[in-house]
Amino acid sequence: MLAAECTPYAWTGGLGDVVGSLPTALRNLGADVRVALPHYGSIDPAVHPITTSNAALKVSMNGAVEQGKVGQVAQSQFPLYLIGSDDYFANRSDLYGYPDDGHRFVFFSRGALEAARALEWQPEVVHCHDWHSGLVPNWIHAARSSGAHANGPATVLTIHNLAYQGHFGEELLHAAGLADGEFPEHATDPELTPRVNFLARGIRFADAVNTVSATYAREILTPAYGERLDALLRERQDGVTGIVNGIDTVTFDPAADPHLAANFSLRDMTPRARNKAALQRELGLPEDPDTPLLGMVSRLADHKGLDLLAPVVPHLVERGAQLAVLGTGDPRHHELLANAAREHPRHIAIALRFDPPLAQRIYGGSDMFLMPSRHEPCGLGQLIAMRYGNVPVVRATGGLADTVADFDARTQDGTGFVFHRYDPIDFFGAIARGLETYRYPDAWRALMRQGMSRDSSWDAAARNYLDLYSRALDSRRPARDA
Ligand code: GLC
């Protein structure tokens, strides 16, 4: 697997959670999965020692050879290789956001393939995550077509979020050694050419493509969700598979989570109340077990539904509810939320930072968890929330639609509150149903129990990935025979 993020070494969001936990589930099924990650400057060698003395790599870039290094993390759950370069990774404080990100991830991707060669280990499948390694299927396809590596590995591309594509200038083709005249971007994006789109090339050349839920796999075939790549996605004869993510059930275990004030489980839910009290205290909200506390842990961006939140705030305050928001993102949302918290200090608390332990306390201490996303390929927050007895309020899109069942007041079936139209009134309608149900402890306990009973482990997904790998190998076969 090639990825730009992997917990607990370097991550900003769900991509890192997936790459940090899926390999273990696959290894438990017998697959020899190994992961390559850029050797970011932020990976602290005191916390994560490297075993192999950074072996030298020769990475072909810009028509020349550049120097790289590969090291292996000493105590990882699966073999994890760090692809190093002082210029591209070590001397930078952030993971992304540099003008040369295109070059940085070409270097990483090529370096990872070189590392496999240096380790004399040839994978049967190269599994690429998101745009960062999107050129790999292109290289491997080109090598296979030229007959040079007819037995080269099959390639799989997983799309975690179609909105991030890796768009760069044409010079990236030269950097990547792909100036061969083929231009798959043109099929979908005539206005943007000649621009290089890493994700588009992954979609065009990978032997199999999947995304992280069945609903999102369907949605992205339409112009409304396709981010201008829908035509290219529709062109794939074998379609786009949807595999819902699991979560790391060891890290996210309310019965053992060290960040909680009190551990609890399906068998003994009573200690959970102490987490709510502790969270209210920590955030400076009035400590009251009966006041419904709504939590949100999110990138503060429009597509996460943040633009639906502001209009809803006055209604939450009027109903006497409390709201706790954790996250960073768009400065506009920082300001809106900061103002709301200043205006309603007894109701709104915000923490504008990246703080995983506080996130876990919000999962384990609040009553409802808000995810009004405009689009959501899978979403992990709702899965963690349900496991922590926290009732999600979600919009029916992508993985949210596939993992949260709307509560039926008559039969008491369901695990959360679901709304459809992307509109603050519909969002508040779902919250209001939640607030109303909250007044009936039996119904609420049923909701919590049903959510906590959901199996969000990686077992099923890992099996589906093994199937996908087999299909990728099968589809490669004609090229090899030829
Ligand atoms: C991205 C998506 C999110 C998904 C995650 C892991 O962050 O936005 O929906 O859960 O990747 O696949």
In SS3 terms, 113-167 reads as HHHHHHCCCCCCEEEEECHHHCCHHHHHHHHHHCCCCCCCCEEEEEECCCCCCCE
Is the pLDDT at 53 greater than 90? The verdict is no
> Residue 192: what pLDDT?
61
Q: 51-54 long-range CB contacts below 8 Å, 24 or more apart?
A: 54/84
Structure-model confidence comparison of residues 171 and 385, the more confident one? 385
pLDDT above 80 for 479: no
From 160, 354, 402, give the residue whose CB has the most ligand 1 atoms within 8 Å, as the site to mutate. Answer: 160
CA of 379 to the centre of ligand 1 (A): 5
Pair 420, 466 in one domain: no
Domain that holds residue 195: 14-246+459-481
Identify the residue whose C-alpha is closest to ligand 1 atom 6: 14
- 9 within a domain of the structure (yes/no): no
Residue whose CB lies within 8 A of the most ligand 1 atoms, among 11, 131, 157, 212, for a mutation test: 212
Which element (helix H / strand E) includes 246?
none
Same domain as 193, residue 305: no
Q: What local confidence, expressed as pLDDT, does residue 482 receive?
A: 40
- Ligand 1: which residues within 6 Å by Cβ? 13-15, 18, 160-161, 212, 245, 376-380, 399
> Within this chain, do residues 392 and 412 fall inside the same structural domain, yes or no?
yes
Q: Which two tokens stand for residue 63?
A: 């028509």
1 lies in some domain: no
pLDDT at 188 (0 to 100): 66
Ligand 1 center from residue 454 Cα (angstroms): 19
Domain presence at residue 265: no
On whether both 123 and 50 belong to a single domain, the answer is yes
Ligand 1 centre and the CA of 377: distance in Å?
A: 6
pLDDT digits (tens, 9 = 90+) for 166-212: 999 989 999 999 977 677 787 766 666 668 999 999 999 999 999 99
Is residue 481 scored above 50 in pLDDT?
no
Residues 204 and 313 in one domain: no
Q: Ligand 1 atom closest to Cα of 158?
A: 12
Confidence (pLDDT) at 152? 84
DSSP 300: B
Residue identified by tokens 């809803």 is 312
Mutational pocket test of ligand 1: of 162, 304, 380, 456, the residue with most ligand atoms within 8 Å of the beta carbon: 380
Instruction: Indicate which atom in ligand 1 lies nearest the CA of residue 130.
Output: 11
The DSSP-derived string for 12-54 is SSHHHHHHHHHHHHHHHTT----EEEE--TTS-TTTS-B-S--
Percent share of the chain, pLDDT over 90: 88
Which residue has tokens 């999110």? 298
CATH of the domain at 48: 3.40.50.2000
234 has pLDDT over 70: yes
What is the Cα–Cα distance from 325 to 339, expressed in whole angstroms?
13
Q: What is the pLDDT of residue 179?
A: 76
Sheet holding 391-395, edge to edge: 348-351, 322-326, 293-297, 368-371, 391-395, 417-419
Helix (H) / strand (E) containing 440:
none
What's the pLDDT tens digit per position in 111-134?
999 999 999 899 999 999 999 999
Whether 164 and 313 map to the same domain: the answer is no
The preferred substitution site among 199, 245, 304, 374 for testing ligand 1, maximizing ligand atoms within 8 Å of CB, is 245
CA 398 to ligand 1: nearest atom: 9
The CA distance from 64 to 292, in Å, is 61
In sign, the C-alpha dihedral spanning 140, 138, 25, 37 is positive
Radius of gyration (Cα) for the chain, nearest Å? 23
- Kindly state whether residues 276 and 419 are assigned to the same domain: yes
> In this structure, are residues 238 and 452 in contact, taking their beta carbons and an 8 Å threshold?
no
Give the mean pLDDT of 364-369.
98
Helical (H) or strand (E) element with 102: helix 101-118
Statement: residue 478 has pLDDT above 80: no
Residues 225 and 306 in one domain: no
Nearest CA to ligand 1 atom 10: 379
pLDDT in tens, 318-360: 999 999 999 999 999 999 999 999 999 999 999 999 999 999 9
| Pairing mode, strands 64-72 and 80-84 | antiparallel
- Percent of the chain having pLDDT more than 70? 96
Give the pLDDT confidence score for residue 477 in this predicted structure: 64
Dump the DSSP string for 307-325: HHHHHHHHHHHHTT-EEEE
- What is the pLDDT at residue 14? 94
pLDDT tens, 66-97? 999 999 999 899 999 999 999 999 999 999 99
The number of angstroms, rounded, from the C-alpha of 350 to the middle of its chain's C-alpha atoms is 23
Distance between Cα 398 and ligand 1 center (Å) = 10
If phi > 0 it is left, if psi is from -120 to 50 it is alpha, else beta; for residue 79 that is: beta
Q: Between β-strands 64-72 and 55-61, what pairing exists: parallel, antiparallel or unpaired?
A: antiparallel
> Does residue 101 share a domain with residue 49?
yes
How confident is residue 144, by pLDDT bands cut at 50, 70 and 90?
confident
Of 134, 16, 40, the closest CA to residue 88 belongs to 40
Are residues 133 and 172 both part of a single domain?
yes
108 belongs to a structural domain: yes
> Ligand 1 centre from 65 Cα, in Å?
35
Do 128 and 276 fall into the same domain?
Answer: no
pLDDT > 60? residue 370: yes
- What whole-number distance in Å separates Cα of residue 421 and Cα of residue 308? 11
CA of 220 to the centre of ligand 1 (A): 14
- What is the 467 CA–ligand 1 centroid distance (Å)? 21
Q: Which pLDDT score, from 0 to 100, does residue 454 have?
A: 97
pLDDT tens column, 416-461: 999 999 999 999 999 999 999 999 999 999 999 999 999 999 999 9
Is the confidence at residue 480, as pLDDT, over 70? no
Looking at residue 189, its pLDDT comes to: 64
Mean pLDDT of the chain, nearest integer? 94
Mutation test residue for ligand 1: of 95, 158, 161, 371, the one with most atoms within 8 Å of CB: 161
Specify the amino acid at residue 309.
Answer: L
Q: Whose CA is nearest to atom 3 of ligand 1?
A: 379
**Which ligand 1 atom sits closest to the C-alpha of 373?**
9
What Å distances lie between residue 465 and 158, 211, 470, CA to CA? 10, 11, 9
Interval between CA 340 and ligand 1 midpoint (Å): 28
* Nearest ligand 1 atom to alpha carbon 212: 12
Residue 237: per-residue pLDDT: 85
Domain count across the chain = 2
d(CA 360, CA 258): 9
Predicted local confidence at residue 367, as pLDDT: 98
